[in-house]
Amino acid sequence: MGCRHLSIFPSVLIVIQYAGNIPTFLANDSPMSAEMPSQHEETGTAEHDESASAGSRGDLFADLSADTSKPEEMPFYKREQFVWTLKWTHIHLFGINMIFIFLGGMTLFLDIGSRAKTWLIVLPFIGVLVDILAMWLKGFVSPAFFWLHVPGGAVFTGIFVYVSLRSLWEMWGRPQNR
């Protein structure tokens, strides 16, 4: 039953393309390319006519010429991925770190040990750096580095929530010693 559906699908594509002139992205070894003669077969010339070649491809850009020349190499710092990553990390580095500078000031007033205060002040900055590093690594090394956002974001989010709730609890929720 599954084979019948798969064998009907290319025929449906060919019928749709001939009937409605809807462009498709069929490969050259498709049934359609075997039925349509190319310009080389019709004229017998070895000259390459780009419109005929593009028309036999059946793609959306059939009327555009195919530029086979190698594009000019842009400098690394002018590429779209670099500029986007730089803008995004710039916002995160300064915006989120300013939040954690103020949060560090709140942490200094918590009623906890100095070792815990140190960790609560330092760890959010490490989390932000891991998060920023994940952006650069996933953009230029491998998309698999996306998962570094999870521990980086979890560290600074968890500490933000803890310090905020602990501060509110120490101000208004703690029982008074009279």
pLDDT band at 110 (very low <50, low <70, confident <90, very high): very high
Phi, psi of 86 (to 5 degrees): -65, -45
Pure H helices in 25-175? 31-35, 39-43, 50-57, 80-108, 114-140, 149-168
User: For residue range 127-144, what is the model confidence (pLDDT) as tens digits?
Assistant: 999 999 999 999 889 989
Residue 157 pLDDT level (bands cut at 50, 70, 90) = very high
CB 123 within 8 A of CB 111: no
- Containing 124, the helix (H) or strand (E) segment is helix 114-140
Could you give the dihedral angle defined by the CA atoms of residues 57, 60, 62 and 65, in that order, rounded to the nearest 10 degrees? -110
Tell me how far the alpha carbon of residue 43 is from its chain's centroid: 47
Q: What are phi and psi of 75, to 5 degrees?
A: -60, 150
Torsion sign, CA atoms 38, 39, 42, 45: negative
Nearest to 28 by CA among 18, 38, 20, 19: 38
Instruction: Tokens 């491998």: give the residue.
Output: 142
Round to whole Å and give the CA distance between 108 and 113.
10
* Per-residue pLDDT tens over the stretch 80-95: 888 888 888 888 888 9
Predicted pLDDT at 60: 60
Contact 126, 155 (CB under 8 A): yes
- Of 48-52, 75-79, 163-167, minimum mean pLDDT range: 48-52
